[in-house]
C-alpha cells in the first residue's frame, strides 16, 4: 500500500549515482595527474627541446637570409608545438572534467527530486 520510504532507502538510489560520479571523478583526476606526471618527467623535455631547436634554426636561417631553411624550421616548430599543446591540453581537460564530476557528485542530492517532498510543505500565502 502507500508505504513511505525511510530517508536511508530514499537516499540509497541517489547515493549509488553519487558514488559513481565521485569515484569516476576521482579516477579520472588520478589518471589525468598521472598522465601529466609521466609527460613532465619523460616527454616534455624532448618536446621543448624540439621546439627550441627548430626556433633556433629558423632564426639563424633568417639571419643568413636562407628562406628554405626558415620555412622548414618553422614547419618543424609548428608540428612540435601542436603535439606539445595537445599533450598539455589532454591531461588538463581530463582533470577539469574530473572536477566537474566531483562537483556534480557533491550537489547530486540537492539536484535530485525527492519523493514525498511536496506532501510535507505548507503553502505560503501572503506575508
Q: What are the residue boundaries of the structural domains of the chain, listed by start?
A: 14-111
Tell me, what's the pLDDT at 17? 81
- Indicate if the pLDDT at residue 47 is higher than 80: yes
Distance CA 87, CA 43 (A): 10
- Indicate if the pLDDT at residue 31 is higher than 90: yes
Quick one: three-class SS letters along 89-109?
A: HHHHHHHHHHHHHHHHHHHHH
Tell me, what's the pLDDT at 122? 58
Q: 109, 18 in Cβ contact below 8 A?
A: yes
pTM above 0.85, yes or no: no
Overall average pLDDT of the 55-82 stretch: 96
Q: Read off the pLDDT of residues 71-120 as tens digits, 9 standing for 90 and up.
A: 999 999 999 999 999 988 988 999 999 999 999 988 876 765 665 555 55
116 φ, ψ to 5°?
70, 10
Tell me the Ramachandran region of residue 126: left when phi exceeds 0, alpha when psi lies from -120 to 50, beta otherwise.
Answer: left
Distance CA 34, CA 87 (A): 13
- Indicate if the pLDDT at residue 48 is higher than 90: yes
- Indicate if the pLDDT at residue 35 is higher than 70: yes
Amino acid at each position: 500500500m502507500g508505504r513511505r520510504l525511510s530517508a536511508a532507502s530514499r537516499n540509497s538510489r541517489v547515493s549509488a549515482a553519487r558514488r559513481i560520479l565521485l569515484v569516476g571523478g576521482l579516477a579520472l583526476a588520478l589518471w589525468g595527474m598521472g598522465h601529466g606526471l609521466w609527460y613532465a618527467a619523460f616527454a616534455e623535455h624532448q618536446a621543448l627541446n624540439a621546439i627550441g631547436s627548430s626556433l633556433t634554426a629558423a632564426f639563424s636561417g633568417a639571419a643568413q637570409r636562407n628562406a628554405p631553411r626558415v620555412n622548414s624550421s618553422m614547419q618543424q616548430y609548428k608540428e612540435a608545438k601542436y603535439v606539445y599543446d595537445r599533450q598539455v591540453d589532454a591531461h588538463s581537460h581530463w582533470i577539469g572534467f574530473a572536477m566537474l564530476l566531483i562537483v556534480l557528485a557533491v550537489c547530486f542530492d540537492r539536484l535530485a527530486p525527492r519523493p514525498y517532498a511536496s506532501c510535507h510543505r505548507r503553502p505560503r500565502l501572503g506575508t
